[in-house]
Amino acid sequence: MDLTAGSQADRDQEKAIRRRSLLKARQTMHPDLWREKSDRLCARLQSWEGFAQARTVLAYFSVRQEPDLSPLFHLPKRWGFPRCVEKEMVWHRWSPNGAGMPRAYPLQTGAFGIPEPHPLSLQLSPAEVDLILVPALACDVQGYRLGYGGGFYDRMLSAPQWRGKPTIGIVFEYARVPRLPRDPWDRPLHGICTETGLFLADG
């Protein structure tokens, strides 16, 4: 069955309904459980050789009880974080206390209340990036992703300079679901990491 069939309006509505319930489930999680699951997820990532070998990794600052990857930001890697500029994400280097950086700039709060790198901090170019850790509300077993609806990652990952870069969706296990609604622009991620393991997407 082709789940991209049906009207755009139906898919928009289905995505909106799924978003609301997934966001609610995540935000009602007890903070102790969120911390524990986040730590287990970080351990899973760390034991994956694709992560161990990656030198430059794109990540995100956790908001709304997204899995918190910040314990990993102390590892000796080059970390990149997004700054939303209109409809695009600009990627900047950031490390805790400015370690290994020529100059440390404070984080700012961006358009969606999400911490963002300072506009003057060093930018990262796509060619430098080895791995992209993608925030999501849910991912399905084939790697399709549901985000907040801004289309930021869809647009980025469809651009030629990013296409083919390894992408891992980061979600708690309850948000690894059998099937998400798909729009024509949705592209599958290469894998999903949850607190129970790393799953490379089914073909």
Ligand X SMILES: Nc1nc2c(c(=O)[nH]1)N(C=O)[C@@H](CNc1ccc(C(=O)N[C@@H](CCC(=O)O)C(=O)O)cc1)CN2
With 0-12 / 13-18 / 19 or more C-beta atoms within 10 angstroms meaning exposed / middle / buried, residue 199 is middle
Among 147, 169, 181, 188, binds ligand ATP (CB under 6 A): 147
Which amino acid makes up residue 151?
G
Closer residue to ligand ATP, CB minimum distance, 152 or 174: 152
Cβ atoms within 10 A of the Cβ of 179, count?
11
66 binds, among ligand ATP, ligand X, none (CB under 5 to 8 A by kind): ligand X
| Number of residues located near ligand ATP, criterion CB under 6 A | 15
Tell me: is residue 78 an annotated ligand-binding position: no
Segment 91-130, which members bind ligand X (CB under 6 A)? 112, 114
Which amino acid makes up residue 174?
Y
Backbone torsion region of residue 98, taken as left when φ is above 0, otherwise alpha when ψ lies between -120 and 50, otherwise beta? left
Among 46, 163, 179, 185, binds ligand ATP (CB under 6 A): 185
Strand 115-116 with 145-146, pairing: unpaired
- Kindly list the residues in this chain that would bind ligand ATP in the complex (CB under 6 A): 15, 146-155, 158, 183, 185-186
| Contacting residues toward ligand X, per CB under 6 A | 60-63, 66, 82, 84, 89, 112, 114, 135, 147-150, 152-153
